[in-house]
Amino acid sequence: MLEKLRAHLERTGLIPGGVRVLVGYSGGADSTCMLHLLHRLGFDIVAAHLHHGQREEADREAALCEAFCTEIDVPFVSGRADVPRISREAGIGLEEAGRNARYEFFRQAAFRLECELIATAHT
């Protein structure tokens, strides 16, 4: 799988060599797999996790994300957003508010950390 991904990335040029990539990391299977594979391929990556302020488990999940990144020696940044408040104030659903908050956090973190690309496993 690793070599297939390497070949695909080289063929498509999706992640050019020498760039720093901010990896959106929720702690779910998709983003964990992506983070691990990009790390194994030797890309310069930073994991970024946004706490949405919606579930009791979110604190534990954020801690697990940070612990995994520490274990594999990947820089980790995190942030918090009050997604229910954003949803109410903007008159939009929780999913849209969460997505908007996540992408704004990713953009700001990428700028601050000098990442040229943002990679997400899904929207």
pLDDT in tens, 54-102: 777 888 899 999 999 999 999 999 999 999 999 999 999 999 999 999 9
CA dihedral 10, 39, 3, 13 (to 10 degrees): -10
Q: Helix H segments across 13-57? A: 29-40
- Residue 27 has phi, psi (to 5 degrees) of 100, -5
pLDDT of residue 15: 94
Q: What is the CATH number of domain 20-119?
A: 3.40.50.620
pTM: 0.91
